[in-house]
Amino acid sequence: MKSRIDAVRKYIGENGIDGALITRKENLFYFTGSAPVLGGYLLITEDDARFYVPELEYEEARETARVEVEKFKKLTELYDVLKPLKSLGVEGSLSMSFGNSLREKAEIEELKFIDDVIKELRIIKTPEEIEVIEAACRIADQAMMVAIEEISEGKTEREIAAKMEYIMKTNGAEKVAFDTIIASGWRSALPHGIASDKRIEKGELVVVDEGALYRHYNSDMTRTIVVGSPNEKQKEIYEAVLEAQKRGVEEARPGITTKELDTIVRNVIEEYGYGDYFIHSTGHGVGLEIHEWPRVSQFDETELKPGMVITVEPGIYIPKFGGVRIEDTVLITEDGAKRLTKTDRELI
């Protein structure tokens, strides 16, 4: 934690900022090791780092945080602490109302965004972070195997999702990483088809997208299943997505940019003639948030480096027919990439 705080301290020093105030839950955990339910405020200055939390969160924060902790009853106490500072580094997610309060009540003259340094730190995972993400991926694999076993004609999407989520929690997950997607039949063409009361029918494609939150870190994976025997068009679409996904994992390596990786994956789908039906980016970073930097898309040119964790998740979505998506959480290594989610990708 100290090296992370020191990096922020160096950044604000080089940019002429008096201090930095961290408020986002994920960032608070990243810098302090503590995640109180009601949150708090981490103030970093040239010679100090102090975590201010509401009084009812004090005992928990004191036990878990790796920085000095102080409690407050009213925000006016925090504003008084900030008054000696004239400029303050803040996250871009800071609300306008709180920003105005900092100016008016804490008398901060200038607010500067410090997202660049935070993103630069969080985008490369430490060995300890990778170990936790791998555990989250193992839990996701266990849940996916349950889905594969349970999906059958007559069952509802919500019924399958409930069993998956039960398995995740009984295997150590704090909760699901996001609302579990079980999208069958025509709904499989909806990229975000959260499990509904629709009953699964024979011959349908079923997209299963799920992840586990374990010790504050996320996993993310998708598999597509056919109930019964697939028809020729279903086979063709699946083959296109599978080839694109495998190619993406094979080509992911240090030195390539996220835009280049997206192009490689996208070109495979286009070669099959389904380019117009691949309607989202190839992937995204995974860590303390289910979607974080880098973005594997045409709009991001981040160079991949060892320690980054991303998803590779191409898909084809044909309205009124159905869709296919295959996704793995992937670790960028020194010379390539390693799949952290390992459930079989072949058509089931």
Report if residue 25 sits inside a domain: yes
Report if residue 344 sits inside a domain: no
Check whether residue 144 and residue 255 sit in a common domain.
yes
Check whether residue 17 and residue 103 sit in a common domain.
yes
Q: Which domain holds residue 304?
A: 127-339
Write down which residue in 60, 95, 122 finishes a domain: 122
> Can you tell me the distance from the alpha carbon of 313 to that of 320, in angstroms, rounded to the nearest whole number?
21
CB 268 within 8 A of CB 247: yes
Check whether residue 58 and residue 152 sit in a common domain.
no
Check whether residue 219 and residue 98 sit in a common domain.
no
Q: What is the DSSP string of 117-140?
A: HHHHHHTSPPHHHHHHHHHHHHHH
Q: How many domains does the chain have?
A: 2
Write down which residue in 122, 156, 171 finishes a domain: 122
Tokens of 115: 């997202």
What is the pTM (predicted TM-score) of this model?
0.94
CATH number at residue 65: 3.40.350.10
| Residue 273: other Cβ atoms inside 10 A | 10
Check whether residue 143 and residue 99 sit in a common domain.
no
Beta bridge partners of 315: 325
**Virtual CA dihedral for 232, 236, 241, 244, nearest 10 degrees?**
160
Per-residue pLDDT of the chain (348 residues; tens, 9 = 90+): 779 999 999 999 999 999 999 999 999 999 999 988 888 999 999 999 999 999 989 999 999 999 999 999 999 999 999 999 999 999 999 999 999 999 999 999 999 999 999 999 999 999 999 999 999 999 999 999 999 999 999 999 999 999 999 999 999 999 999 999 999 999 999 999 999 999 999 999 999 999 999 999 999 999 999 999 999 999 999 999 999 999 999 999 999 999 999 999 999 999 999 999 999 999 999 999 999 999 999 999 999 999 999 999 999 999 999 999 999 999 999 999 999 999 999 876
Check whether residue 54 and residue 192 sit in a common domain.
no
> Can you tell me the distance from the alpha carbon of 53 to that of 45, in angstroms, rounded to the nearest whole number?
17
Check whether residue 227 and residue 100 sit in a common domain.
no
Check whether residue 28 and residue 134 sit in a common domain.
no
Q: Which residues of 104-132 are buried (b: 16+ CB within 10 A; e: fewer)?
A: eebebeebeebeebbeebbbebeeebbeb
